[in-house]
Structure formats: structure tokens, C-alpha cells
């Protein structure tokens, strides 16, 4: 692929930033990594920032008065500032570090949910949610006797917005919705959805695990009350994610985990919580991971999120076009206009595990299973699907390898 | 990995010999592999000496799980309940004749897991390995 003329994006150069892309998976068979929706690979700048932190800076933060502690605190807090800027959060005190998207959603369910929801309240989710935005609410529903309702997904893989309008009339207290489906690839019309939810009086929480890595996300544009995402899907390390929460909510919420750092003052029988965002960050946090998260955001900004999006759109369009030509292959989800770089598919009479296993023999990494969205698979009556997911370092040549690999799968099972 | 899908496995997957449901039966059990959605049911008939006379599996899954189930059903006919309890991972791998990584091992072992749970479910309380 030649560099994009208008954005200057050069995928060949980008690939050089990711050392893992140069390895063989089996002897003589290079890696074709098409599983970035599960986790992305990491550029040198992120790996280096984290090891440099451990080599030169390592100390606990916010407590020590010594030089290393000052430097570590600065590194941690400056990462927070840059990540908050990355999603255009109004202030970095509204950006709480969590372990991942899952923990961010659990934080909201546990803290906000227990304080502000009561028996019989309605929580509105959708049928395309990842387990991480289903199970926390199921747990809470069983504890508080809440009602759960789900925005249906149409056969085309879109939210049924007519039904949604009707559901809003029932006065849900919370809307929990994914920005982009990790199976269908559907990018939901968030602005409209959140505006309508707000008009109906609902608090809104968005699962941004699949969106923030792939296109520019502006929190203030669609005014989510809570927005959760993970570093590891956007070139950053595992073990850290973020929850954006509106200050007015975070301030009223009780703490999530108790311990050091989240307190201002402790007595034997009582404590006073710390200011935001520390109130929600009990214990020593993932400091090196925060540094890596910050470096990941710097890397993405350096490439430009518009350039990343343009590259992925063109690649996704190509993948859909090429895969659609394969007889007996069915792609889930909407057309390219409403779809991000996630292409889940199934082959008639061939189980997804077998597809993935045979592709692996060609060095191609895809995901097989229900991708932590089992209810969605049940709805479409599929036990499992195969999923190729694309990111900024993928190429058309890799899509071609995928197509060849699927042909081999079909030959073996023919 | 090229020889991963031995012809025998593909053949067993496409045309299993021991696929079906036994009703009535003496042992019937089903379970899922939550990571991939594979589902296996095993039905067994015993004679008066607790020897397996018939065994069929049903459900859906990948070639490995289905072939493993088919081969397992074939191998247990004529065995008694105590023999079934002694079946191990090695027996399954021997049936399939291939090496498996940890993820695919779960696919291969699901039929045995289901069979053993069914066997232990009929009155014995021994731990399943």
C-alpha cells in the first residue's frame, strides 16, 4: 500500500513501529495479526516508555517527597491529562484510571448504581452489548430488584431505534450502550441516542472500548455521563483503562474500592474521601501502565486519528468486498457506512474454531467464538463466529492472505 | 500444524458414526464449553452388568470436539462403568492421534467431561479428575 496522499499515512512505516509484526508465528510463516479488537499490538514508543519508567523513575506516587516520587507522580498525572485531552474531557479530574473497560463499568454499577437506583427501576441496555456491559447490570439487578430491558438489534445489525423510542417512554433510569459493537462492527448513532435518553431523564453510560482506538471521540460532542475505554485496544498496555464521568455524578457517588489514596483523612471508625479523581483510585495504581497509556495516546495523536480512521475505513471496505465474494461466507453486521473495522463472519457447515485453527497454520490470527457477546450470537442463532478485526497497521495484502486462508479452510472441509 | 486436520477427523466430523439421541437411556448428560459455545450431549445404555451397549452423542461444535465425541462413543461400547471412570486425557489424544494446544484441548476433552459427569451422576460421588 502506498502512503495516503491526503493524510500522509504510510502503513509501511507504521508497521516498523511494531516489533511484533516482524516475527514468524511458525517457522518461515510471518504473523498476520487480525485480532486487534481483542487487543492491539504495541509500538516501540509504548514499550520503551514503560521500560524507561521502570529503569529510571520507578517510585510510588502522591506520597513520597523524594525526587523519584515527584517524577513518578508527574508521569502518572501527565498521562491522565493527555488521555483526558484525547477524548476532549472537560477536565482531567473527571478521568479515572481503572483496570480496563470492564472495571470502569463495574465501578459505575457498583457505586452510582447502588446509590441511585432502587427496586423496580429500569435499566436499558442493548442486545449488542459485550458481556462487560451486561453482567454488571445483571448482578445489580438481582441485588436491587431492577428491571432490565434491551434495545433490539435488527437483522442488519443496527439498533432498532423505533423500539428504542418506545422503551424511553418507560422512563429508564440508566441507558448503557456500546459506541461500537465488537462483533457487528456497528457504530451506533451515539449523539442522537444519548440526546433522546437524556430527554427521557436517563443517565447515560457508553462502552467505548472499540471506538476510542479507531476514530476521534469527543466526549463533549455527545455528552455522555459516563464513558469507558481500555488502553490495550489502542496501542497501550493491558491492566489499565479509563472511566470518564461527569463531575456532578462522580462527586455524589460513594467510593468504589476503599484503601490508600482514595482517602483524605482516616480514623478508626470513619474516613473522608479524597478529591476527584483519586476518590476512585484506591491503592497503588498501575503507574507504568498509565505511562504506557499516555505514550499510546501520544502515538495515536502523532499519526492523527483522522488518518487512522481513513486508513481503516478503506481497509474495512476492501475486506468486506473481498470476503463477500467467497461462496457460503456470511458477514454479520451493517454495510461499511455504519461499520468499523470489525468483520465477523461464518462459513456454512464449518465451525469458527476450525476456521481459526487452519488460519493460524498460515500465521493469520483471528478470533473465534462468541467474542464475549453470547446473547447476540444466540439472537442470530449462531454458536460461534470468526472475527477478523483491523487496525492501523494492517494492509490490503493481509486481507488477501485472509481470503486465501479461508479458501484453504474450505478446501480442507470440502 | 498442517497435519492438524487429519483426514480421519474431518471424515468423522462430516459423517459421524455415533451421532444421535438414546431415549430411554441409562445415562444422559450435557454441557457447554463456555469459551466457544460448543455443546455436547452424551446418551448411554447399559446392560444388567453395567456394561455399555449403546452410546450416542449430539450437539454442535468444531471438528475436534465432534470427532472426539464420535471416537469416544465408539471406544466405550463394551466397557463397564468402572472402565469409563478410568478414561483420561491420554485416551482422547490417542483416539484423535494429534497434539493439541491448551485451547483446543478443551474442545477435545468436552465429550469426556460430559460422559464422566454423567457416569458420576448416577449415584457415585467421587471427584472428577
- In a domain, residue B51? The reply is yes
- pLDDT one-digit tens code per residue, A89-119: 999 999 999 999 999 999 999 999 999 999 9
The predicted model gives A136-151 an average pLDDT of 98
Choose between B39 and A322: higher pLDDT: A322
How much is the pLDDT for B1?
Answer: 43
The predicted model gives A229-238 an average pLDDT of 98
- pLDDT one-digit tens code per residue, A53-93: 999 999 999 877 899 999 999 999 999 999 999 999 999 99
Cβ neighbours of B32 in A, within 8 Å? none
Cβ neighbours of B63 in A, within 8 Å? 351, 353-354, 413
Alpha carbons within 13 angstroms on the beta-carbon side of residue A293 total: 34
Decide if pLDDT at A414 tops 80. yes
With contact defined as beta carbons under 8 Å apart, do A97 and A286 qualify?
A: yes
CB-based contacts of A98, cutoff 8 Å, min separation 6: A104, A107, A228, A240, A241, A242, A243
Can you tell me which residue has the cell 514468524? Answer: A24
Return the C-alpha cell found at A193: 441516542
Report CB contact under 8 Å: A351, B104.
no
User: B4: pLDDT confidence band, cut at 50, 70 and 90?
Assistant: low
Report CB contact under 8 Å: A26, B39.
no
How far apart are alpha carbons A102 and A18 in whole angstroms?
A: 26
CATH number of B71's domain? 3.90.1010.10
How much is the pLDDT for B129?
Answer: 43
- In a domain, residue B126? The reply is no
- From the list A372, A384, A402, A409, the catalytic residue is A372
b or e along A234-246 (b: 16 or more beta carbons within 10 Å of the residue's beta carbon)? Answer: bbbbbbbbbbbbb
Provide φ and ψ at A98, rounded to 5°. -125, -175
- In a domain, residue B69? The reply is yes
With contact defined as beta carbons under 8 Å apart, do B116 and B24 qualify?
A: no
Provide φ and ψ at B16, rounded to 5°. -65, 150
Entry field: residues in chain B: 129
- In a domain, residue B16? The reply is yes
Contacts of B117-120 with CB under 8 Å at 24 or more apart are B117/B29, B117/B31, B118/B27, B118/B28, B118/B29, B118/B42, B118/B44, B119/B27, B119/B81, B119/B84, B119/B85, B120/B85
Report CB contact under 8 Å: B60, A383.
yes
Q: What is the CA radius of gyration of chain B?
A: 14
Range of the structural domain that residue B103 is part of: 2-120
Q: Which residues pair with B30 in a beta bridge?
A: B41
- In a domain, residue B40? The reply is yes
Q: What percent of chain A has pLDDT over 90?
A: 93
DSSP A30-73: E-EE-BTTT-----HHHHHHHHHIIIII---SSS--SHHHHHHH
- pLDDT one-digit tens code per residue, A252-293: 999 999 999 899 999 999 999 999 999 999 999 999 999 999
Q: Of A289-303, A380-394, B87-101, where does mean pLDDT reach its minimum?
A: B87-101
Report CB contact under 8 Å: A370, B36.
yes
The predicted model gives A331-350 an average pLDDT of 95
Mean pLDDT (chain A) is 96
Across the interface, of A357, A360, A383, the residue whose CB is closest to B37 is A383
Per the structure, the count of domains in chain B is 1
- In a domain, residue B125? The reply is no
Decide if pLDDT at B123 tops 50. no
Cβ neighbours of A26 in B, within 8 Å? 1
User: B122: pLDDT confidence band, cut at 50, 70 and 90?
Assistant: low
Decide if pLDDT at A383 tops 90. no
Alpha carbons within 13 angstroms on the beta-carbon side of residue A174 total: 29
Residue A351, chain B, CB below 8 Å: the answer is: yes
Q: Are strands A367-369 and A385-389 parallel, antiparallel or unpaired?
A: antiparallel
- For the question of residue A235 being annotated catalytic, the response is no
How far apart are alpha carbons A388 and A385 in whole angstroms?
A: 10
Residue A384, chain B, CB below 8 Å: the answer is: yes
The predicted model gives A159-174 an average pLDDT of 98
Can you tell me which residue has the cell 457506512? Answer: A337
- Cis geometry, peptide bond prior to residue B24 (ω within 30 degrees of 0): yes
Closest CA relative to residue A32, chosen from A311, A287, A399: A399
Cβ neighbours of A353 in B, within 8 Å? 36, 38, 61-65, 104, 107
Alpha carbons within 13 angstroms on the beta-carbon side of residue A218 total: 6
Alpha carbons within 13 angstroms on the beta-carbon side of residue B115 total: 34
Closest CA relative to residue A251, chosen from A75, A99, A116, A158: A116
Report CB contact under 8 Å: A354, B64.
yes
How much is the pLDDT for A2?
Answer: 80
Provide the 10 A C-beta neighbour count for residue A374.
Answer: 17
User: B33: pLDDT confidence band, cut at 50, 70 and 90?
Assistant: confident
How much is the pLDDT for B85?
Answer: 93
- In a domain, residue B129? The reply is no
Q: Of A215-219, A399-403, B59-63, where does mean pLDDT reach its minimum?
A: B59-63
CA distance, residue B25 to nearest chain A CA (Å): 27
Does domain A48-301 sit in CATH 3.40.50.970?
no
User: B99: pLDDT confidence band, cut at 50, 70 and 90?
Assistant: confident
Residue B54 buriedness (CB in 10 A; 0-12 / 13-18 / 19+): middle
**Closest chain A residue by Cα to residue B35:** A369
User: B125: pLDDT confidence band, cut at 50, 70 and 90?
Assistant: very low
Across the interface, of A352, A361, A413, the residue whose CB is closest to B4 is A361
How much is the pLDDT for B127?
Answer: 40
The CATH architecture of the domain made up of A11-30+304-413 is: Alpha-Beta Complex (3.90)
- In a domain, residue B127? The reply is no
Domain boundaries, chain A: 11-30+304-413, 48-301
How much is the pLDDT for A153?
Answer: 98
How big is the A-B interface in CB pairs under 8 Å? 54
Amino acid at each position: 500500500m502506498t502512503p495516503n496522499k491526503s493524510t500522509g499515512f504510510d502503513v509501511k512505516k507504521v508497521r516498523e513501529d511494531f516489533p511484533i509484526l516482524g516475527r514468524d508465528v511458525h517457522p518461515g510463516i510471518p504473523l498476520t495479526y487480525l485480532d486487534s479488537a481483542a487487543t492491539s499490538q504495541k509500538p516501540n514508543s509504548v514499550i520503551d516508555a514503560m521500560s524507561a519508567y521502570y529503569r529510571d523513575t520507578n517510585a510510588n506516587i502522591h506520597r513520597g517527597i523524594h525526587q523519584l516520587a515527584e517524577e513518578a507522580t508527574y508521569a502518572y498525572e501527565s498521562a491522565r491529562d493527555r488521555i483526558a485531552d484525547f477524548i476532549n474531557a472537560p477536565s482531567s479530574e473527571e478521568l479515572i484510571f481503572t483496570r480496563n473497560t470492564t472495571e470502569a463499568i463495574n465501578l459505575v454499577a457498583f457505586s452510582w448504581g447502588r446509590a441511585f437506583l432502587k427496586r423496580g427501576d429500569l435499566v436499558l441496555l442493548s442486545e449488542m452489548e459485550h458481556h462487560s456491559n451486561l453482567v454488571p447490570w445483571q448482578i445489580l439487578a438481582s441485588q436491587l430488584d431492577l428491571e432490565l430491558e434491551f434495545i433490539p438489534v435488527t437483522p442488519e445489525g443496527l439498533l432498532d431505534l423505533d423500539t428504542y423510542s418506545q422503551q424511553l417512554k418507560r422512563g429508564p433510569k440508566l441507558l448503557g450502550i456500546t459506541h461500537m459493537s465488537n462483533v457487528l462492527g456497528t457504530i451506533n448513532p451515539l449523539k442522537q441516542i444519548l440526546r433522546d435518553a437524556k430527554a427521557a431523564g436517563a443517565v447515560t453510560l457508553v462502552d467505548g472500548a472499540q471506538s476510542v482506538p479507531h476514530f476521534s471521540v469527543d466526549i463533549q460532542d455527545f455528552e455522555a455521563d459516563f464513558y469507558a475505554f481500555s488502553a490495550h485496544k489502542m496501542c497501550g498496555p493491558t491492566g489499565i483503562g479509563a472511566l470518564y464521568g461527569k463531575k456532578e455524578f462522580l462527586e455524589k457517588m460513594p467510593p468504589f474500592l476503599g484503601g490508600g489514596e482514595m482517602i483524605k483523612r482516616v480514623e478508626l471508625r470513619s474516613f473522608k474521601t479524597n478529591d476527584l479523581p483519586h476518590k476512585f483510585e484506591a491503592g497503588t495504581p498501575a503507574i507504568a501502565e498509565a505511562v504506557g497509556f499516555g505514550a499510546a495516546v501520544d502515538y495515536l495523536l502523532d499519526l492523527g486519528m483522522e488518518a487512522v480512521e481513513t486508513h481503516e475505513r478503506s481497509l474495512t471496505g476492501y475486506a468486506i468486498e473481498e470476503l463477500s465474494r467467497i461462496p457460503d461466507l456470511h458477514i454479520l453486521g451493517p454495510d461499511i457506512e455504519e461499520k468499523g473495522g470489525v468483520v465477523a463472519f461464518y462459513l456454512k457447515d464449518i465451525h469458527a474454531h476450525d476456521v481459526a485453527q487452519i488460519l493460524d497454520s498460515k500465521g493469520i490470527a483471528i478470533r473465534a467464538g462468541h467474542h464475549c457477546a453470547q446473547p447476540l450470537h444466540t439472537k442470530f442463532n449462531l454458536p460461534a463466529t470468526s472475527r477478523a478485526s483491523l487496525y492501523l497497521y494492517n494492509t490490503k495484502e493481509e486481507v488477501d492472505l485472509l481470503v486465501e486462508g479461508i479458501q484453504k479452510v474450505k478446501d480442507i472441509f470440502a | 500444524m498442517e497435519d492438524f486436520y487429519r483426514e480421519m477427523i474431518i471424515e468423522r466430523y462430516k459423517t459421524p458414526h455415533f451421532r444421535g439421541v438414546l431415549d430411554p437411556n441409562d445415562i444422559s448428560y450435557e454441557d457447554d464449553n463456555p469459551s466457544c459455545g460448543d455443546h455436547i450431549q452424551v446418551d448411554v445404555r447399559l446392560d444388567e452388568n453395567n456394561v455399555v451397549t449403546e452410546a450416542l452423542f449430539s450437539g454442535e461444535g468444531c471438528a475436534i470436539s465432534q470427532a472426539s465425541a464420535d471416537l469416544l462413543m465408539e471406544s466405550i461400547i463394551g466397557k463397564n462403568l468402572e472402565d469409563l471412570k478410568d478414561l483420561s486425557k491420554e485416551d482422547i489424544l490417542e483416539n484423535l492421534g494429534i497434539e493439541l494446544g491448551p485451547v483446543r484441548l478443551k474442545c477435545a476433552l468436552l465429550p469426556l467431561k460430559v460422559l464422566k459427569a454423567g457416569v458420576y451422576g448416577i449415584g457415585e460421588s467421587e471427584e472428577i479428575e
